[in-house]
Amino acid sequence: MNIAIPLDLPCVDLPCARVMPRFQPGGYALKRALICGIRRLLARREAINKINVFPVADGDTGSNLAFTLSAVGDALGSMRTACVDTLLRRAASEAIDGARGNSGAILAQFLQGISDSLKNVSRIDASSLTNAISCGSMQARLAVAQPVDGTILSVIGRFAECLRQQRAAGIDDLREIYGRALQSAREALAATPQQLAVLRKAGVVDAGAQGFVELLEGIQQYIQRGRAALTDHAQETSYAGADGVLSDSAKFDAASHRYCSECVLSADDLDRDAVRAALDQLAGSSLVMAGTREKLRIHMHLDQPETLFATLAQFGRISAHKADDMRAQNRSLHVSNTVAIVVDSAADIPAATLEHLPLHVVPVRLNFGAQDYLDKISLSSSAFYRELRENPIAPRTSQPPPGDFRRLFEFLLAHHAEVVYVGLSRALSGTLQAGEAVAARLDAQRIHVIDTRNASCGQGLLAIQAAQRAMQGWSAAQIVAELRTSLLQIQTHAYIRDISYAVRGGRIPPWTLPLTRWLKLVPLAKMGVHGRLKVRGILRGTDRLPERFAQDLVKRLPTGRRWQVLVGHCDCLDEGERLCAEIKRRLPELQSCDLVEAGSAIGAHAGPGSMVVSFMPAPIA
């Protein structure tokens, strides 16, 4: 990532050819030093991902640190200030907002501690630096519920301790104490395998600690070379552990909990002890709380992210919530295919299929009034239908924020040659456009975006096909070409048992509701060629509705083909099973016919009791 740096700012800390002046950076020099450090870490994100085995071998520590510090770098690049205080407050705030992963949250709290220590400071000398790093180290350790030695915390602690020892010895040259403390941090990094058995087994150092040292190394380049360091092009590298072997993190176990869950908790005066006590009651791990009394970034591993968000909602406003599927990430490391497949949660895919295929899901946002959810993660499909029935407020869906796509795309590009995103119909949502925009900024040559012109089961069938082809070793170009052919042949149909939900959501005029109820009409809909679901007819009465629907569908299918079928039920499992059985009876040459509970992409508009079914010609093996 390129971070814009104004090169015309005043500079007072350039090293002289013969005499090195005392280095006491103000805001401008501190800004440049931090950006040098951030650039170095960004260049090494993929190598850091590859040695990530603790606390979870999910291969994303480099991406998480890069995401965290990119937010800081973007903010600093636009600032023109000589005030250390202002600069660091902004850096800490952006880090907390942008923090991702365990190490990202720890680093955010480290920066917050530095900011707290350097209030009202205009220039940094050896003494103020030592105090600031000590404060940051202490706050970083306190942010972690169960600190572990042999991690980023150990290296931060050793860096801070070396600074204190030098100041106690009377050394007051900032360049000298920083250089010696950096060397101490390097030694602490090299010692992490002796402190953590999992690192020793993998033959690597701790990934988060490596990222922290890379940040320090970039800052050191600026201290030594001044503004000339800004023109350096940081090179990618690789790391070896104590035995000289680069880890294959796929050999290590996946997470004990499924989701890496995060959010920002905001309030006027947060009681951190009360928040932590409440979170200690949850069945989770890897808890990190980074921030201030007004804003906390919470990181935790859980199987049920909704319990985290619901617990935190008692203390303030929840925002920027996310939940990454660490098991899906770990599966991605186990497969050898060069292409990764991404789909958004508007696609309906059976849970068993998601468990064995290398599919990565970006959740759509969903809300009932002020309550926000991550589709199918913090609100399951079954819980969605309960809320739909009981809540008088109509649900609304919204596209994932660009950061969700960016974080996943960056992670996948670190482990695969190319990515194919199988997206929700452009005509139905801005979700596809959000993915396209991120793909264009990151790497349009390696990220391919497909408008399925479909949703729910149709989109799901296309994503499954893409994942199967990726596992067979197909290239991205081959997968994209087949998808473009398949999406023209797929058929998606639905019936809407109760149109009151569509009326409530403003999709259908209110006057149609009493008419359809009085005449017992069941509207039938079909996904059109432009990617919109449109009414195509009606069925009279609700008796044997699944069976009559199947009869209507089968007669519309071209003959002489084998079909893959996916049926989605909107909280009506019995009718879904009957529909599947009738389709199998009428199409004995089916390749497959699976059943899934349809999510909010269809359910929010069609309502409980509705059914959606998609037919796709079976691809040639």
List the one residue out of 203, 92, 72 whose CA is nearest residue 143.
Answer: 92
Higher local confidence (pLDDT), 337 or 375: 375
Q: What confidence tier does 256 reach under pLDDT thresholds 50, 70, 90?
A: confident
Question: Considering 299, 325, 351, which residue would you say is the last residue of a domain?
Answer: 325
Region 474-490 average pLDDT? 96
Helix axes 126-143, 101-117, angle to 10 degrees: 140
CA-CA distance, 526 to 535, in Å (whole number)?
Answer: 6
Query: Is the pLDDT assigned to residue 203 strictly greater than 90?
Result: yes
CA-CA distance, 432 to 420, in Å (whole number)?
Answer: 12
Question: Considering 325, 353, 372, which residue would you say is the last residue of a domain?
Answer: 325
Contact 129, 178 (CB under 8 A): yes
Classify residue 473: in a domain, yes or no: no
Mean of the per-residue pLDDT values for the chain? 88
Region 583-611 average pLDDT? 91
Query: Is the pLDDT assigned to residue 485 strictly greater than 70?
Result: yes
Q: What is the pLDDT of residue 601?
A: 86
Classify residue 385: in a domain, yes or no: no
CATH number of the domain to which 546 belongs? 3.30.1180.10
Contact 532, 559 (CB under 8 A): no
Q: What is the pLDDT of residue 17?
A: 41
SS3 content of the chain, % helix, strand, coil (to 5): 50, 20, 35
Same domain, 186 and 46: yes
Same domain, 166 and 298: no
Classify residue 125: in a domain, yes or no: yes
Region 131-135 average pLDDT? 97
Region 149-162 average pLDDT? 96
Query: Is the pLDDT assigned to residue 566 strictly greater than 80?
Result: yes
Region 110-114 average pLDDT? 96
Same domain, 277 and 143: no
Q: What is the pLDDT of residue 506?
A: 56
Same domain, 316 and 210: no
pTM over 0.85: no
Number of domains in the chain: 3
Q: Which single residue is written with the structure tokens 């309502």?
A: 607
Classify residue 532: in a domain, yes or no: yes
Higher local confidence (pLDDT), 503 or 362: 362
Give long-range contacts, CB 8 A cutoff, 24+ apart: 233-237: 234/39, 234/40, 234/42, 234/43, 234/44, 235/43, 236/43, 236/44, 236/46, 236/47, 237/44, 237/47
What order do you get walking across the sheet with 418-423 strand by strand?
A: 359-362, 339-344, 418-423, 447-451
Q: What is the pLDDT of residue 300?
A: 95
Share of the chain above pLDDT 90, in %: 63
The pLDDT tens digits for 44-74 are 998 998 899 888 887 889 989 998 999 899 8
The Cα diameter of the chain in Å comes to: 95
Classify residue 430: in a domain, yes or no: no
CA distances from 425 to 347, 436, 439, 451, 584 (A): 10, 13, 17, 6, 28
Q: What is the pLDDT of residue 452?
A: 97
CA-CA distance, 51 to 414, in Å (whole number)?
Answer: 12
CA-CA distance, 518 to 280, in Å (whole number)?
Answer: 54
Same domain, 34 and 87: yes
Classify residue 62: in a domain, yes or no: yes
Same domain, 216 and 275: no
CATH number of the domain to which 171 belongs? 1.25.40.340
Domain coverage including residue 559 = 491-617
Most confident of 321-330, 332-341, 359-368: 359-368
Structure tokens at 368: 């009932």
Same domain, 172 and 259: no
CA-CA distance, 397 to 505, in Å (whole number)?
Answer: 11
Q: What is the pLDDT of residue 8?
A: 36
Classify residue 584: in a domain, yes or no: yes
Lowest mean pLDDT among 25-34, 36-45, 224-233, 266-275: 224-233
Q: What is the pLDDT of residue 411?
A: 87
Q: What is the pLDDT of residue 241?
A: 43
CA-CA distance, 468 to 474, in Å (whole number)?
Answer: 9
Q: What is the pLDDT of residue 248?
A: 45
Query: Is the pLDDT assigned to residue 6 strictly greater than 50?
Result: no
Q: What confidence tier does 18 reach under pLDDT thresholds 50, 70, 90?
A: very low
Query: Is the pLDDT assigned to residue 507 strictly greater than 80?
Result: no
Query: Is the pLDDT assigned to residue 3 strictly greater than 50?
Result: no
Terminal Cα-to-Cα distance of the chain (whole angstroms): 40
Q: What is the pLDDT of residue 46?
A: 87
Same domain, 177 and 84: yes
Q: What is the pLDDT of residue 150?
A: 95
Share of the chain above pLDDT 70, in %: 89
Region 484-494 average pLDDT? 95
Classify residue 343: in a domain, yes or no: no
Same domain, 318 and 189: no
Same domain, 127 and 276: no
Region 218-230 average pLDDT? 90
Region 412-439 average pLDDT? 94
Angle at 211 (CA atoms; ends 208, 214), nearest 5 degrees = 155
Q: Which single residue is written with the structure tokens 């990119």?
A: 70
Query: Is the pLDDT assigned to residue 250 strictly greater than 80?
Result: no
3-state secondary structure 134-154: HHHHHHHHHHECCCCCCCHHH
Query: Is the pLDDT assigned to residue 12 strictly greater than 80?
Result: no
Region 177-187 average pLDDT? 97
Question: Considering 232, 265, 292, which residue would you say is the last residue of a domain?
Answer: 232
Lowest mean pLDDT among 22-26, 414-418, 431-435, 464-468: 22-26
Q: What confidence tier does 245 reach under pLDDT thresholds 50, 70, 90?
A: very low
Same domain, 159 and 222: yes
CA-CA distance, 202 to 569, in Å (whole number)?
Answer: 46
Query: Is the pLDDT assigned to residue 7 strictly greater than 60?
Result: no
CA-CA distance, 24 to 289, in Å (whole number)?
Answer: 32
Same domain, 200 and 139: yes
CA-CA distance, 163 to 542, in Å (whole number)?
Answer: 77
Q: What is the pLDDT of residue 163?
A: 97
Q: Which single residue is written with the structure tokens 């037919």?
A: 615
CATH number of the domain to which 316 belongs? 3.30.70.100
